[in-house]
Chain A
Amino acid sequence: MRTDSGGYVSGTTLTGDGGAAAREPALSIRDLSVVYRTVNGDVRAVADVTLDLHAGEVLGLVGESGSGKSTLAYGATRLLRAPALITGGSVIYRGRRMSGPVDILGLTPDQLASLRWREIAIVFQSAMNALNPVLSVSDQLTDVIRRHLRTPRPEAVQRAGKLLDLVGIPRARLRSFPHELSGGMRQRVMIAMALATDPEVVIMDEPTTALDVVVQREILGQIMELRDTLGFSILFITHDLSLLLEIADRVAVMYGGQMMEVGSAEQIHHEPSHPYTKRLLRAFPSLHGPRKRLAGIPGTPPDLLSPPPGCPFLERCLDGTEKCKEIEVRLLPVRTSADPRHQTACPFILPDQPDDEGGTPGDGARPAVAVPTVDLSSAGLSSASVSPDGGSPDGGSPDGPAAESVAVIQPGSEERAQ
């Protein structure tokens, strides 16, 4: 168990050979565990999570409230305080400006202070609360620049102006106070602050959740442009999978404090492997393309004060079996995928559900568990729900080979757990 006082820099223990160093991830989270100490016991918020953020990529971290996605990000950057406690793991950061890799969990407060913002910056969710209401935009930006880059004030003000240019706010707004800005502008200021010191890793915690779609899109477009020009990597935290699929290079799906699936946006969208991912994909209404049958995910996340044995999703999983109570949750390469970086925590390969295939209604192969499907306005839906090509809306996932090579658990089999 590590605490902030007993720090060390583990750069010496990690020697990467020069050639591979370029391809090594900028941030490697290994078996990170975080608990919240409460009077009733430890709440296991993050359990043995492993995740790599590569240089220059946009990695989306998706999960519902309480899934541990923010705890993971704040734990990895040591921003948590009591009662949160990091109980194990390592977070290796490899920056281009660093002499070698460092374990963030082992840094002293001084070392941490020089790493934060300069190397790893964060855009917090609520711009309303994260900006200081009694300081002008200029003061807040120059404060960051002067503290972390040791720039004299005139240059810092210059730089603050340039930053506002970057995020598309007129320089005249430097003198504005947060309450004089619209929600979208505040969020842009937050992004400008995060980029103030040219960091290599930017963690964005639901940066656009509070904004409406048009503004959200403008800001996301700007973030992607900045990523392309400045070359930082982004860990993008959100509960909106539909958004992530569009902007992220890779997507990591968290549930109940554990990692359920990691893969490229393409893989997650078209060849989801974990039942939770599959359900998430059917849980949002899509505006484009044919109307699909939608199903929510009934039930509630597990109580992490006394987490159930085995897979945390078992209680809400339609394909769960007794075996799921015994599995050790860890990411393994998806056996049907050619790409070893597409990993899932579900060891069972399940046949694709009939509903995935264009929503053929009345197909009797579903499990006997009632799924509340949304079939909201009956007018015109029945015809539109079947995609025109009669095939899968996922664009033809290779479910055929998946089914033959591995032991297939039949949905609705007798031994369904719970």
Chain B
Amino acid sequence: MNSQAIGAGQLQPAHDLQSVAASRGELVLRADELSKDFKLGRGQILHAVRDVSFGLYKSAVVALVGESGSGKSTVARMLAGQESVSSGKIWLNGEAVQPSRGGEFRRYKSEVQLVFQDPFSSLNPAHTVRYDIERPLRLHHHSLSREQVREAAVDLMQQVRLTPPEKFLASYPHELSGGQRQRVSFARALAAQPRVLLADEPVSMLDVSIRLEMLSLLDDLRTSFSLAMLYITHDIASARYFADEVLVMYAGQIVERGAAEDVTQQPAHPYTQLLVSSAPDPDNLGGGLRELPGESGAGTGSATEIAGRNAPVVIGCPFSDRCPFVADKCRAENPPLLQLSASRAAACWRLDVAAPAVLAGREGGDDLTN
């Protein structure tokens, strides 16, 4: 039964995957088998991130999607140099860097900037916006005169559409709305003139009605500053509209990756399928909720809890506990990312059962977008 069940065995591990984001521009930042372990005490180790590899390309957006506790923010923090790397390498402009090391940190930070989720706690309430914007300008561009710094600050405010700039520069965070605060965060990140912007859930705390505006602002900034952007979110629907490539994370691993439209419209990995079917769907009216595939009876344990509890277990697929398609091999061996097309891969032994359409599409022709 076992050999019969593993029809996906013919797939090859995805060693030379071509990111769809690469068509936008050159490679800027590369994560190479990044891992992060946290020591929990009593000899326990939490593998928060395991062997995560991807590239960020100039003028392209890569989305990292997953639930809380999946390790997506830890990836961002490692890339931002705020967390040391347990193993693996970070490559910036073709050079291996160790951003969490002292002297290199500031040079790295002028190239790679992070925007946080919560605009209410990421700005110091005791400082005006001017302080927040001008400080990185001075730190990262020593040669600027006082006048030039002021001009640059005004210019940044206009870039993030906070006008009139002088009024907003003089205000304190508590005087601003959530959306305005997040714009200040963007301006502060851009003050260093980075090549890479890591946006950790930049719109999750904002109202639905202004989320879209913020995403379109981020999109404009991506174009005008030629930013390589990592967009971290748990809202896979926004990733569909905003990102070139989508990486789906579960329990510290990338379980599926590919072009945004492919991954969201024809998810291959059972977890991605769960994620996609969990997103609100206004077209499904009638007061009831759709049944989730394979979620019957799995009910009680919250996703976070399972991810956290299972993380230390290295044997087997981390999703095997919740997976409706689980087979013996899934519990015994953790699947690597298997190549589905030139740009697409999924880490699942049971792809023939979980996503027969995707496999069939693979034989018929690679590109699902057309």
Contact = CB atoms under 8 A, between A and B. Distances in A.
B287 A215 contact: no
A214 B261 contact: no
Contacts of B259: 379
A217 interface: yes
A269 B235 contact: no
Nearest to B302: A184
Nearest to A184: B302
B219 A376 contact: yes
Contacts of A201: none
A415 interface: no
B209 A239 contact: yes
12 contacts: A64-B210, A182-B302, A214-B275, A216-B278, A218-B299, A280-B208, A280-B209, A285-B241, A287-B276, A296-B211, A374-B215, A377-B260
Interface string A280-316: 1101111111010011111010000000000000000
A149 interface: no
Interface size class of A (residues with CB under 8 A): 35 or more
A289 B264 CA distance: 11
Contact of B278 (A213, A269, A289, A376): A213
A245 interface: yes
B300 A170 contact: yes
A285 B237 contact: yes
A213 B209 contact: no
A174 interface: no
B287 A183 contact: no
Interface in A205-260: 212-218, 220-222, 224, 239-243, 245-249
Contacts of B284: 246
Contacts of B243: 377
Contact of A291 (B236, B241, B286): B241
B52 interface: no
Contacts of A64: 207-210
B111 to A, nearest CB: 24
A372 B209 CA distance: 13
A247 B242 CA distance: 26
B235 A169 contact: no
Interface string A82-117: 000000000000000000000000000000000000
Interface in B53-75: 61, 67-68
A296 B282 contact: no
A289 B279 CA distance: 13
A73 interface: no
Most buried by A among B219, B284, B285: B285
Contacts of A221: 289, 292
A70 B241 CA distance: 31
A183 B68 contact: yes
Contact of A213 (B61, B211, B212, B234): B234
B281 interface: yes
B295 interface: yes
A170 B302 CA distance: 12
Interface in A356-396: 372-374, 376-377, 379-380, 384
A403 interface: no
A260 to B, nearest CB: 13
B93 interface: no
Interface of B: 20, 61, 67-68, 177-178, 207-213, 215-216, 219, 234-238, 240-244, 259-261, 264, 274-276, 278-289, 292, 295, 299-300, 302-305, 308, 369-370
Contacts of A216: 278
A212 B219 contact: no
A84 to B, nearest CB: 20
A215 B70 CA distance: 13
A245 B275 contact: no
A337 interface: no
A240 B219 contact: no
Given A216-B278, A246-B280, A249-B287, 13 more contacts: A65-B207, A184-B302, A212-B67, A214-B275, A217-B278, A224-B288, A242-B280, A242-B282, A269-B283, A285-B235, A291-B240, A374-B241, A379-B369
B210 A296 contact: yes
Contact of B212 (A184, A245, A294): A294
Contact of B274 (A214, A247, A286, A373): A214
* Chain B CB within 10 A, most for which of A182, A240, A243, A377: A377
Nearest to A266: B285
Contacts of A169: 300
Contacts of B295: 218
A312 to B, nearest CB: 14
Contacts of A243: 280
Contacts of B304: 182-184, 212, 215
Contacts of B213: 296-298, 372
Contacts of A184: 302-305
A380 B210 contact: no
A287 B303 contact: no
Of B209, B241, B242, B261, chain A has the most CB atoms within 10 Å of the CB of: B209
Contacts of A377: 61, 241-244, 260
A221 B244 CA distance: 32
B264 A212 contact: no
A380 B281 contact: no
Among B68, B308, B370, find the residue whose CB has the most chain A CB atoms closer than 10 A: B68
Contacts of B260: 377
A265 interface: yes
Contacts of B292: 217-218, 221
Given A170-B300, A224-B289, A374 B212 contact: yes
B237 A284 contact: yes
B297 to A, nearest CB: 10
Nearest to B20: A379
A285 B208 contact: no
Contact of A245 (B177, B285, B302): B285
A384 B260 CA distance: 13
A78 B236 CA distance: 39
Nearest to B261: A380
A152 interface: no
A380 B258 CA distance: 14
B303 A241 contact: no
B279 A380 contact: no
A285 B282 contact: no
Contacts of A281: 282
B216 A376 contact: yes
B287 A248 contact: yes
A58 interface: yes
A133 interface: no
Given A214-B274, A246-B289, A287-B279, A239 B300 contact: no
